[in-house]
Amino acid sequence: MKKHNGTRSWLISSSGVFLLILLVAPALAGELRVTRVVDGDTVKVRGTAGEITIRLVGIDAPEVSHKKAEPGQPYSQQATKHLAGLVLNMNVEIKEYGQDRHGRTLGVLFLAGKDINLEMIRVGYAEVYRGEPVRGHDMSLYWKAEEEAKRAKRAMWSQGEKYISPRQWRHMDRNRPNQVPS
């Protein structure tokens, strides 16, 4: 995908025929439908170009377990359900900020003009992403919303001293020895 003056170009190859489709960012409004909520900060959307995985930029939600016998991080399932309640099967707009190292599109999700990423922080189901911020994304409202959610002890912030950030949880999970059933 190449960017030209605020537009996105998709190059699709089929039987030696190349089709260039220029999509202007505002033209994506209403054309993207959320088909799946993967977790509290990742969704799949379907549009004219097919299905795309969107990683909600600027936020980090509690980690869901990828192992059947483990529940995941506290509030991970609630965060996923809350996000699904907001956007699943809804038409959304996305302000794109490139891709992450996993090939997911980084974006802010908007539903009827409302910043869904910010909403996840506001209700206490996500914190501000602590890694390298993306260029051009103003995080000031996100930091303010996180402070308000912490003060009000909303959702995951109700854990107080027991709270572990998603970033720390991922690190601990990677370093946990594999348990062998007895």
- Using CA atoms, how far residue 50 sits from 45, 94, 103, 174, in Å, is 8, 15, 15, 32
Would you call 147 a catalytic residue per the annotation?
A: no
User: What is the side-by-side strand order in the sheet with 17-24?
Assistant: 2-4, 7-14, 17-24
Give, in degrees to the nearest 5, the angle at Cα 172 between 167 and 178: 140
Residue 92 φ then ψ, to 5°: -130, 165
Which residue is catalytic, options 8, 33, 51, 63? 63
Residues 80, 83: Cα–Cα separation, whole Å: 5
Q: Which of 93, 104, 119, 146 is catalytic?
A: 104
The one catalytic residue in 55, 96, 122, 146 is 55
Residue pair 72/17 in contact by the 8 Å Cβ criterion? no
SS3 72: coil
CA-CA distance, 41 to 56, in Å (whole number)? 5
Active site includes 55? yes
Question: What are the residues facing 4 on neighbouring strands?
Answer: 7
Q: Which residues are catalytic?
A: 55, 63, 104
